[in-house]
Chain A
Amino acid sequence: MTTTTLAVLVPLLPFLGAAAGLLLGRTAPGFVRPLAVLPTLTALVLAAIVAVRQGGDASVTAATELTPTGSIPIELALYIDGFAALVAVVVGLVATCVQIYSTGYLREDPRYPSYAALVSLFTSAMFLVVYSGDLIVLLVGWEVMGICSYFLVGHYWETPEARAASIKAFLVTKLGDVPFLIGLFALATDAGSFRITTVLATVTHGGLDHPTLVALLLLAGVAGKSAQFPLHTWLPDAMAGPTPVSALIHAATMVAAGVYFVARLLPVFEASSAAMVTLAVMAAITMVGSGLAALAQDDIKRVLAYSTIGQLGYMTGALAVGDRGAAVFHLLSHGAFKALLFLAAGVIIHAAGTNSLAAMSRMSHLRDRVPDAYWTMTVALLALAAIPPFSGFFSKESVLGAAEHITAGHTEHAPGAAGWTVLVAGLLTALLTAAYATRLWLLTFHGRGAEAPDHGRQPLTMTVVLWVLAVPSLALGGLAYRTLPDWFDGNDLAPTLTTSVLGTGVALAGGLVTYAAWRHLAGLAARVPLGAVAAHPEGDAGLVEAEAIATHAPAYGDVASAPDPADPGRLLLGPLHRHAAVGFHLDAVYRALFVRPVQAGASLVRFLDREVVDTYVRGAGALPRWLGAAVRRAQTGNVQTYVSALLAGTVVLAVAALLVASGA
């Protein structure tokens, strides 16, 4: 088969799997698991073949126009360069791992068939975004992901948290998607085509009339999808979904789509220095803010969610300094280790019966209960904290190196201010990342107190994929940083000495400070008991997690934080902890700015409808009713009265007719 045929099959297979899963889910339950895993696995293999055949050489393009649309043509186009080929492989790898993991994680869930089909549809949409060479086709995949994430985040729709989180995720991403759509139209009007190749050629020749406007409009959509400040607030709440969904959405697919989109159209953004500075500032605020917030979270998955936002900030930072090779490199390695972190967190939540770090820190021997999760999560956290030689080190250093390169004065692509912003924020975030990674590791695996409950071994499907993902988390960066430039733009991705020493130094400092704080507070944990909320310990992992999330707010008063004085994050952040725990009150600001006015408007409309419009309607009904009541009084039941009235009427009519006839 030609490379084009294989590439078409990659998004098509999971889509067909999703359709078949939705149709056969009830009638043939035996086929649900194969239908979920096999198409995704085949798509992974095909994506790998496509990547090998493409090999970083000339990009594979193919296009067919289904039907003339009048003005700017919309084509079914493929555009596979090195970026697309490699991102597709990571998407396929993570999606396959998530599907396999889900068969164990949700093995008793009655809604597993629809869940698996939606995950397949989600995967297919992401493949479409990755391979598409036409912006409108890309938008189709982009929006399908949005609606799938709505359904998947709301998988446990019995709990109010999940319902609120799914609606929030959908609305916030849509808030970005509206300017995104307008930006796409403006871009296509300037370029005369929706084809990415044509758009890029137009940009190269300086044919773009409004580069700043287009770039800023597109950035709004990217911020919504990739959870960048100020549209990041949906992502921590989206943790109400099942853990495999968090791994899929937050590692390789939906949040990566925004970064990937900017990487694809980077010349468009580079045409406007205002857009690049905006991107840099956005990335800097996102990185530092999410690092501080992650340090104050109590829910293990919310820590990871904020860390995802921060790592995405690194990627947008790399894009802001014009190095998409570094951005996609970090996307690849982050995809592997973040998926691993989430999947391992799912195993830990199942074993501990709680998602609260405060409760886990009062449990001893948790690491003996889940040795696979312990070792793989240690690897992933080291990668997250960018400790050499784990893969996160190389990708993060490539980002910092690119920023440092810009500050040195080579400002052909990006303004120097962007370089400094990204570099300083990146180093600060490296410190914070190491701090919250250490805090997560210490609180989870080095708790002291009662022994963790023993539910026996975790299912094999859930532990094997952890080791599968641990391999790229460990080795991808070190093995790939020399070969990846051939696939990308050719920029050197090797870590430079200055940034490596600086980055690793601050990371070690962050880890050590957290460790010291933890040691300092060690005695306090025993004196302040905080109960774990283990419910249905024999149920499947999905059930345990759903109940853990639902009971967090009643037990600790908040979904995000716990009143735990032994938390090292509380000591390190000091007075900032209270604000960081609630994401620096951004939700409250949005509540005051958007939710309250909308609710006030809704109650005004309700008042107008109930009190004003309905008054007219009731008045229109009341007049005939009064008339009817008056006329009904004439109905006495005496037939003779009726006949008398009839006679009187006849006489009157006859007299009138006579008068008219005689001309009086």
Chain B
Amino acid sequence: MHLAYPAVLSALLFCTGLYGVLARRNAILILMSVELMLNAVNLNLVAFDVWLSRTAEETLHSGQALTLFTIAIAAAEIGIGLAIVLAVHRNRGTADIDRLRDTAEGHESPAADGPDSDTPATGTAAEKAEATA
């Protein structure tokens, strides 16, 4: 099989993922798009490994080994990412990325009032700060 097929496929996959990361508003869909990009990279790694080892006299198949690493790391990443999204959703009732703008310049964070303010909102503010961190 010519190298162009997997390369074009992975490029399409990567671009789809990139579009998803940039354009989607739901955090879970963004995570899924990140997975698409990772898998595009994996496809590239495997394809080029095969292509390169065809001409080499001897090979370690390092591309395939790296793919295994990427899959493991992606699994861990999606686990943590989903946990964060879940925690944010529990706190705020939404996972809309457009509404999670607490780090914006000039944004008045409720936690910025100071930790020693004796308002009843202190508990939730602390939790929010924890969630957005």
Q: Counting CB contacts under 8 A, is B54 at the interface? A: no
Confirm or deny: A575 has a beta carbon within 8 angstroms of a beta carbon on chain B. Answer: no
The segment out of A51-59, A251-259, A633-641 that lies at the interface is A633-641
Specify which chain B residues have a CB less than 8 angstroms from the CB of A647 in the assembled complex: 18, 22
Q: Indicate if A205 sits at the interface (CB-CB under 8 A).
A: no
* Pair A637/B103 contact, Cβ less than 8 Å: yes
For window 357-387 of chain A, which residues contact chain B by CB distance below 8 Å?
Answer: none
* B103 lies within 8 A of A643 (CB): no
Which residues of chain A (130-165) have a CB below 8 Å from chain B? none
Within 8 A of B (CB), among A73-130: none
Q: Is the CB of B22 within 8 A of A643?
A: yes
Cβ of A644 < 8 Å from any Cβ of B? yes
Q: Which chain A positions have C-beta within 8 A of B104?
A: 635-638
B105 contacts A by Cβ under 8 Å: yes
Instruction: Tell me how far the C-beta of A607 lies from the nearest C-beta in chain B, rounded to whole angstroms.
Output: 38
Q: Would you call A632 an interface residue if the criterion is a C-beta within 8 Å of the partner chain's C-beta atoms?
A: yes
* B2 at interface by CB-CB < 8 Å: no
The answer on a CB contact under 8 Å between B97 and A633 is: no
Report A652 CB to chain B, min CB distance, Å: 16
Q: Is the CB of A638 within 8 A of B21?
A: no
CB distance from A141 to the nearest CB of B (A): 62
Contact residues in A for B97 (Cβ distance below 8 Å)? 638-640
Instruction: Give CA–CA (A635, B18) in the complex, Å.
Output: 21
Q: How many residues on B have C-beta within 8 angstroms of the other chain's C-beta atoms?
A: 13
Alpha-carbon gap, A637 to B107, bound state (A): 9
In the complex, are the beta carbons of A635 and B22 less than 8 A apart? Answer: no
Q: Could you tell me the distance between the alpha carbons of A380 and B103 in the complex, rounded to whole angstroms?
A: 88
Q: Please give, as numbers and ranges, the residues of chain B lying within 8 Å of A638 by CB-CB distance.
A: 97-98, 101, 104
B48-77 Cβ-contact flags toward A at 8 Å (1 or 0): 000000000000000000000000000000
Alpha-carbon separation in the docked complex, A643 to B24 (Å)? 13
Distance between Cα atoms of A640 and B23 in the complex (Å)? 8
- Total A-B contacts with CB atoms under 8 angstroms apart: 29
How many residues of chain A get a CB closer than 8 Å to chain B's CBs? 11
Contact yes or no, B101 A643, CB < 8 A: no
Contacting pair A640 B21 (CB below 8 A): yes
Question: CB within 8 Å of A: which of B76-99?
Answer: 97-98
Q: Is B102 an interface residue (CB 8 A)?
A: yes
User: How far is the CB of B70 from the nearest CB of chain A, in Å?
Assistant: 20
Bound complex: CA A633 to CA B103 (Å): 12
Interface string of A622-639 (1 = CB under 8 A from B): 000000000011011111
- Contact present for B21 and A643 (CB under 8 Å): yes
Contacting pair A632 B105 (CB below 8 A) = yes
Tell me which of B22, B102, B103, B105 contacts A640 (CB under 8 A).
B22
Q: Is the CB of B101 within 8 A of A636?
A: yes
Residues of B within 8 A of A639 (CB): 97
Among B18, B22, B102, the residue within 8 A (CB) of A637 is B102
Give CA–CA (A643, B97) in the complex, Å: 13
Interface string of B94-125 (1 = CB under 8 A from A): 00011011111101000000000000000000
Whole-angstrom distance between the alpha carbons of A95 and B41 in the complex? 99
Query: How far apart are the CA atoms of A66 and B103 in the complex, in Å?
Result: 73
A639 to B88, CA, bound (A): 15
- Closest Cβ neighbor of B24 among chain A residues: A640
Complexed CA–CA distance, A640 and B98 (Å): 9
Question: Which residues of A have CB within 8 Å of B22?
Answer: 640, 643-644, 647
Q: Complex: how many Å from CA A632 to CA B103? A: 11
- Tell me how far the C-beta of B62 lies from the nearest C-beta in chain A, rounded to whole angstroms: 24
Residue among A632, A633, A636, A639 with the highest chain B CB neighbour number at 10 A: A639
The distance from the CB of A646 to the nearest CB of chain B, in whole angstroms, is 10
Nearest to A639 among chain B residues (CB) is B97
Interfacial chain B residues near A637, Cβ < 8 Å: 100-105, 107
In the complex, what's the smallest C-beta–C-beta distance from A100 to chain B, in angstroms? 63
Residue of A with least CB distance to B104: A637
Contact B103 A635 (CB under 8 A): yes
Report chain B residues within 8 Å CB of A635: 103-105
Q: A633 touching B105 by the CB < 8 A rule?
A: yes
Q: How far does the Cβ of B128 sit from chain A's closest Cβ, in whole Å?
A: 14
A640 to B21, CA, bound (A): 7
Query: A644 contacts which chain B residues (CB < 8 A)?
Result: 22
CA distance A647 to B22 in the complex (A): 10
Provide the bound-state CA to CA distance between A643 and B30, in Å.
12
Which chain A residues border B105 with CB–CB below 8 Å?
A: 632-633, 635-637
How far, in angstroms, from A644 to B18 measured CA to CA in the complex? Answer: 9
Cα distance A323–B23 when bound, in Å? 109
**Given the complex of chains A and B, what is the CA–CA distance between A633 and B22 in angstroms?**
20
Name the B residues within 8 Å of A643 (CB-CB): 21-22
CB nearest neighbor in B for A633: B105
The docked-state distance in angstroms from the alpha carbon of A647 to that of B102 is 23
Residues 278-327 of A contacting B (Cβ, < 8 Å): none
Give Cα A636 to B102, complex, Å. Answer: 9
Docked Cα-Cα span, A643 to B18, in Å, equals 9
CB neighbours of B107 from chain A (8 A)? 637
> In the complex, what distance in Å separates the CA atom of A636 from the CA atom of B97?
12
Contact with B along A521-538 (1 / 0, CB 8 A): 000000000000000000
* Cα separation A638 to B22 with both chains bound (whole Å): 10
CA distance A639 to B24 in the complex (A): 11
- Docked Cα-Cα span, A636 to B105, in Å, equals 6
* Nearest neighbor of A641 in chain B, beta-carbon distance: B22
In B4-35, the 8 Å CB interface with A consists of 18, 21-23
Shortest beta-carbon distance from B114 to chain A in Å: 21
Chain A residue numbers with a CB within 8 Å of B98 are 638
Across the interface, which residues of B come within 8 angstroms of A636, CB to CB?
A: 101, 104-105
Residues of B contacting A640 in the complex (Cβ-Cβ under 8 angstroms): 21-23, 97
- Measured between alpha carbons, how far is A640 from B97 in the docked complex, in Å? 8
A641-663 to B contact mask, C-beta < 8 Å, 1/0: 00110010000000000000000
- Write the nearest CB–CB distance from A388 to chain B, whole angstroms: 87
Bound CA span A633–B97, Å? 19
Residues of A within 8 A of B101 (CB): 636-638
Instruction: Look across to chain B and name the residue whose beta carbon is closest to the beta carbon of A631.
Output: B105
Which residues from chain A contact B18 at a C-beta distance below 8 Å? 647
| Beta-carbon nearest neighbor of B21 in chain A | A643
What's the least CB distance linking B127 to chain A, in Å? 19
Give Cα A201–Cα B90 distance, bound, in whole angstroms.
Answer: 104
Distance between Cα atoms of A632 and B18 in the complex (Å): 26
The distance from the CB of A16 to the nearest CB of chain B, in whole angstroms, is 59
Residue of A nearest to B107 (CB): A637
Instruction: List, in ascending order, chain A residues with CB within 8 A of B103's CB.
Output: 635, 637
Note all chain A residues with C-beta closer than 8 A to B100: 637
**For the complex, what is the distance from the CA of A449 to the CA of B21, rounded to whole Å?**
105
Starting from the known contacts A637-B107, A638-B98, 8 additional A-B residue pairs (CB-CB under 8 Å) come to: A632-B105, A633-B105, A635-B104, A637-B102, A638-B101, A640-B97, A643-B21, A643-B22
Residue contacts A-B, CB under 8 angstroms, 8 given: A632-B105, A636-B104, A636-B105, A637-B107, A638-B101, A640-B21, A643-B21, A647-B22
Closest 5 CB pairs of A and B: A637-B104, A637-B101, A635-B105, A632-B105, A637-B103
